[in-house]
Amino acid sequence: MQPNALLDALLDEAGISQAGLAAHVNLAGRKRGLALRYDHTAVRRWLKGQRPRGQAPDLICEVLSARLHRQVALVDIGLSGIQGELISPSSSSSSSTLSGFVERATALWRSDEQQRPHVIGAPAVTGTPAVMPVWEWENPPEDSDVSRSGPTHVNLSDIETLKGARAHYEQMYRKAGGIATRSRIVGFLNSETAPLLRGGYNDATGRQLHRATGGLVAIAGICAYDSDAQGLAQRYFHQALRLAKASCDRGLGAYVIALLVNQSLFMREYRQAVAFAEAALRTAGREISPALAADLYAMQAKSYAHLGDGTSALACIRRAEKAADRIRPGREPDETGYVQPGLVNVQVAEALLSMGDLPAAREHAATAVDTRAHDRGRVHRLAILTHVELRQGEADLAVATAVEMAEQARGMESHRLRDRLRAVREHLAASGCAQADEAAEMIDGALRIPL
């Protein structure tokens, strides 16, 4: 039995206590000739996942509809009979109404902020449930009108605030890691973003609002991914994809799919990673930026390399390099700022390393390290170069690179970077190099930072 987070979120939005809801339901029941005696204990049981009996679900909808000045249905309060409505990927798909999606999305944010175990610990889905949100992004129907009436009038300054917040939290993630950033961005989603989504706006403003929110939600997904909450991250990515569809911005949708591709690579779902990247490249078409195309092709190359398809990997490497040559700083959308000079090189180095082409992998990894990058990206590049140097038998050079990597990683709270540090430490220990202990000590120091 899962907690009913949808009902909990609507009670919070309506400003009704558990005892207050019970009293209103009893009163609504009396108007129908029912003698009900619900109290706060009964409501607490409903919030824990117990289904109310008889006409109580309809009465709850009636009470909340009057309080919120909009129609509230059984699906909105988590009582439609569908299990796992809050955390199911289909709950953020285009098959549901946009207003219903907003209620489920904001309920998920609230449950995340409250650290609800059934949300944070939800596993990532695979197979059809993982593919459907991407398929629905690609295909009709589109949202013909995203306008909404609500208590708060949304204006362009509100949207600029969301854009500024996205940039702020992205920079915080790059410097401090996803664990430190996640609680802050989720708090912002609940306190600032949710009221705007539930507010009033016309279609044009609504498109911009959904786009700005999609960018923020994508960063929340990145932070969840970096915190090793893979199921939660996937649900944030699916939400961001639904928001991208509502905004009619195919480029934003392709960016979100690139995040799903990266997560698929982490989960070793290599065929899914290839398919998702193809979907983004195909559907976004001319709306895709050169930087994003370069990253998608490079991740495809890594996927093909893991699948043992060297021919396809090399073809994708050539496409990635060609797209990277077309990148023009200042002409890219804000979200693709992560595709900094050298990123494609390190992605290609990983693919070539998997294929066993060590000289070419070394050349690309060294180029990536010699190119300026943000703190997090530099740790990743140094880790790949360390692996290549060890594979080439250059343990002394690998030790020096690993020491620099550990110094750069100090202070970052990130499960993904910790994974890289541990992997480098294990390879150094296996090398038998006399100086490996120095690098191992530095890595241990970085790993001792509590998460």
d(CA 400, CA 220): 34
Q: Are residues 69 and 162 in the same domain?
A: no
pLDDT of residue 91: 44
* Rounded average pLDDT over 393-411: 90
Q: Residue 395's pLDDT band (boundaries 50, 70, 90)? A: confident
Domain that holds residue 213: 86-248
pLDDT of residue 70: 83
* Rounded average pLDDT over 171-191: 95
Beta-carbon-side half-sphere exposure of residue 75 (alpha carbons within 13 Å)? 14
The DSSP letter of residue 200 is: B
Q: What is the pLDDT of residues 92-129, one digit of tens each?
A: 443 468 988 998 999 999 999 999 888 899 999 999 99
Q: Give the Cβ contact number of residue 68 at 10 Å.
A: 18
Total number of domains constituting the chain: 3
pLDDT of residue 442: 82
pLDDT of residue 92: 44
| Range scoring the smallest mean pLDDT among 60-64, 189-193, 202-206 | 60-64
pLDDT of residue 105: 94
- Judge contact between 94 and 139, C-beta under 8 A: no
* Rounded average pLDDT over 166-189: 96
Q: Residue 86's pLDDT band (boundaries 50, 70, 90)? A: low
Whether residue 435 has pLDDT greater than 80: no
* Rounded average pLDDT over 83-98: 52
* Rounded average pLDDT over 392-410: 91
Q: Which of 343, 348, 338 is nearest to 218 (CA)?
A: 338
Phi/psi at 153 (5° precision): -80, 125
Q: Which of 48, 42, 50 is nearest to 24 (CA)?
A: 42
pLDDT of residue 150: 86
Q: How far is CA 139 from CA 150, 261, 262, in A?
A: 29, 19, 22
Q: What is the pLDDT of residues 298-356, one digit of tens each?
A: 999 999 999 999 999 999 999 999 999 999 988 999 999 999 999 999 999 999 999 99
Which has the higher per-residue pLDDT, 134 or 427? 134
Q: Are residues 120 and 76 in the same domain?
A: no
Can you point out the beta strands (E) in 347-447?
none
d(CA 97, CA 243): 12
Q: Are residues 95 and 77 in the same domain?
A: no
Q: Are residues 64 and 176 in the same domain?
A: no
pLDDT of residue 324: 96
Q: Are residues 74 and 40 in the same domain?
A: yes
What is the distance of C-alpha 177 from the center of its chain? Answer: 14
Q: Are residues 65 and 118 in the same domain?
A: no
User: Is residue 365, in this structure, part of any structural domain at all?
Assistant: no
> What is residue 148's three-state secondary structure?
strand
In the chain the first and final C-alpha atoms are separated, in Å, by: 30
Q: Are residues 114 and 236 in the same domain?
A: yes
- Judge contact between 341 and 368, C-beta under 8 A: no
Whether residue 161 has pLDDT greater than 60: yes
User: Is residue 357, in this structure, part of any structural domain at all?
Assistant: no
User: Is residue 314, in this structure, part of any structural domain at all?
Assistant: no
Q: How far is CA 357 from CA 234, 316, 324, 350, 364, in A?
A: 33, 16, 21, 10, 11
Whether residue 85 has pLDDT greater than 80: no
Q: What is the mean pLDDT of the chain?
A: 91
Q: Are residues 196 and 59 in the same domain?
A: no
154 is written with which tokens? Answer: 């949304």
Q: Are residues 155 and 235 in the same domain?
A: yes
Whether residue 82 has pLDDT greater than 70: no
Q: Give the Cβ contact number of residue 311 at 10 Å.
A: 8
d(CA 257, CA 269): 14
d(CA 319, CA 112): 39
pLDDT of residue 77: 87
Rounded (5°) CA angle 110-113-119: 75
- Judge contact between 289 and 329, C-beta under 8 A: no
Q: Are residues 63 and 127 in the same domain?
A: no
User: Is residue 359, in this structure, part of any structural domain at all?
Assistant: no
Q: What is the dihedral of CA 276, 278, 281, 283, to 10 degrees?
A: -80
> What is residue 140's three-state secondary structure?
coil
